[in-house]
Amino acid sequence: MNFELTEQQLAIKETARKFAEEELLPGVIERDEASEFPVDLYHKAGELGLIGLPYPKEVGGQGLGYMEYALAVEEVSKVDASFGISYSVSTSLYGGSVWNSAADDETKKKFMEEVCKGQVHGSFGLTEPNAGSDAGGCITTAVKDGDEYVINGLKCFNTNGPLARYSAVYALVEPEKKAKGLACFIVDIKNTPGVRVGKIENKMGIRAAQVSELIFEDCRVPAANKITADGDGFKLAMQTLDCGRIGVAAQGLGIAEGAFERAVAYMKEREQFGKPIATNQYLQFKMADLAVKIEAAKYVLYKAAMDHDTGKPFSQSAAKAKYICTNTAMEVTEWAVQFMGGNGYMREYHVERMMRDAKITQIYEGTNQIQQLIVGGALFR
């Protein structure tokens, strides 16, 4: 296996790093406090070609792969994990729903181009109040009426919900078949009567990312917006979540690396008992332990991205990557706060935000217990 990144991958990493340092870092604390998403910076990331990386140029993307995309999510998440998840959901979960669907080329272009260029956001409407880990338990319905479908129901925890122009909405076309009766619809949230943004969530972390309910009340969408055959919605959601988990893994890895770098810098500077705290061997041993875990998580993630890009099955490697990268994010950020002491607990030192941001990465796009179920289930099949 070749662990070297190509020149192009290094260039993308550098573009994302520079964007994160120069554009995202100023104001990241204030945006966290105010729960404000930097829409203008999102457009800028699109202009830099960072958003649609893994999709072909014909649909507005950059014609590259998940490896390049993971590198970009990792870099921006070192600085601003809220930006990282907004980007990841738009690209993997919304973009993946359309790209992996049965839609024809023209429909894919229509619903992906502006999203890939970062001009508008996409969201992913699967979860409902009683259908979280049990994603097949959705009760939102879509009833055919002439050339339209009429959608009724409520989708919750929609990342990008209040911002998104488009949402990939999973609804039952044959309710009696339960999960096997799901289909996926693209809803133009901003231009379709009958859909509205409900409660906007007030969150512990990723506070600048916008997360809300989407409420559908006799919402009519053209039949052409159904992008799967009847009954194929659950499989599309699962395939798309496999892609999304690579994005969340990259977000987790970025958070871990960002907190680790800040802790190292602090520990070299901070003096107690007449010497930098970095010279304390106990702290060095713990930092060494974390450095090994970050390195291990990184290669599990890159393997998942490579599996995706080389056309191999990647459900398992994506679940493993999501599991190890996000658990590492939580562990590293907790230690970063601990080793930075009272300062680590304060907003201006960034790591307390990273610790709050890390927690949700162990929960969304399939809790880490669901990832264990996916990996454990395959071991004994």
CB closer to ligand CAA, 127 vs 362: 127
365 is a contact residue toward ligand CAA (CB under 6 A): yes
Q: How many CB atoms lie within 10 A of CB 182?
A: 28
Smallest distance from the beta carbon of 42 to ligand CAA, in angstroms?
Answer: 16
Residue with tokens 């998440």: 77
CB closer to ligand CAA, 72 vs 126: 126
Task: Tell me how far CA of residue 354 lies from CA of 121, 174, 200, in angstroms.
Answer: 24, 43, 22
Alpha-carbon radius of gyration of the chain: 21
Q: Of 149, 157, 166, 302, which one interacts with ligand CAA (CB under 6 A)?
A: 157
Q: Do residues 89 and 361 touch, judged by C-beta distance below 8 A? A: no
Q: Which stretch binds ligand CAA (CB under 6 A): 142-150, 152-160, 288-296, 323-331?
A: 152-160
Catalytic entry in 68, 201, 213, 365: 365
366 is a contact residue toward ligand CAA (CB under 6 A): yes
CB closer to ligand CAA, 23 vs 242: 242
Q: How many CB atoms lie within 10 A of CB 314?
A: 24
Q: Do residues 121 and 164 touch, judged by C-beta distance below 8 A? A: yes
CB closer to ligand CAA, 251 vs 328: 251
Contacts of 21 (CB under 8 A, 6+ apart): 79
Q: Which stretch binds ligand CAA (CB under 6 A): 3-11, 53-61, 119-127, 345-353?
A: 119-127
Contacts of 92 (CB under 8 A, 6+ apart): 69, 240, 243, 244, 246, 247
State which of positions 225-264 bind ligand CAA (CB under 6 A): 234-235, 238-239, 241-242
Quote the CA–CA distance of 94 and 11 in Å, as a whole number: 26
126-139 exposure pattern, b = at least 16 Cβ within 10 A, e = fewer? bbbeebbeebbebe
Smallest distance from the beta carbon of 101 to ligand CAA, in angstroms?
Answer: 13
Q: Which stretch binds ligand CAA (CB under 6 A): 15-23, 62-70, 126-134, 277-285?
A: 126-134
- Residues 300-329, mask of contacts with ligand CAA (x by CB under 6 A): ---------------x--------------
Quote the CA–CA distance of 169 and 171 in Å, as a whole number: 6
Contacts of 27 (CB under 8 A, 6+ apart): 38
CB closer to ligand CAA, 83 vs 260: 83
Q: Which stretch binds ligand CAA (CB under 6 A): 59-67, 103-111, 304-312, 362-370?
A: 362-370
| φ/ψ (deg, to 5) at 213 | -80, 155
Q: Of 130, 133, 284, 310, which one interacts with ligand CAA (CB under 6 A)?
A: 133
126 is a contact residue toward ligand CAA (CB under 6 A): yes
Contacts of 150 (CB under 8 A, 6+ apart): 142, 143, 218, 219, 220
Sign of CA pseudo-dihedral 303, 304, 305, 309: positive
Active-site annotation holds for 365: yes
Task: Tell me how far CA of residue 230 lies from CA of 142, 155, 175, 184, in angstroms.
Answer: 11, 19, 11, 9
State which of positions 158-217 bind ligand CAA (CB under 6 A): 158-159, 179
State which of positions 75-114 bind ligand CAA (CB under 6 A): 89
Q: Of 124, 166, 185, 349, which one interacts with ligand CAA (CB under 6 A)?
A: 124
CB closer to ligand CAA, 124 vs 266: 124
DSSP 122: E
Smallest distance from the beta carbon of 315 to ligand CAA, in angstroms?
Answer: 4
Of 325, 60, 14, 32, the C-alpha closest to 202 is 32
CB closer to ligand CAA, 154 vs 238: 238
CB closer to ligand CAA, 56 vs 231: 231
Smallest distance from the beta carbon of 239 to ligand CAA, in angstroms?
Answer: 5
**Residues annotated as catalytic (active site), given as ranges:** 365
Contact positions vs ligand CAA (CB under 6 A): 89, 124, 126-127, 133, 135-136, 157-159, 179, 234-235, 238-239, 241-242, 315, 364-366, 370, 373-374
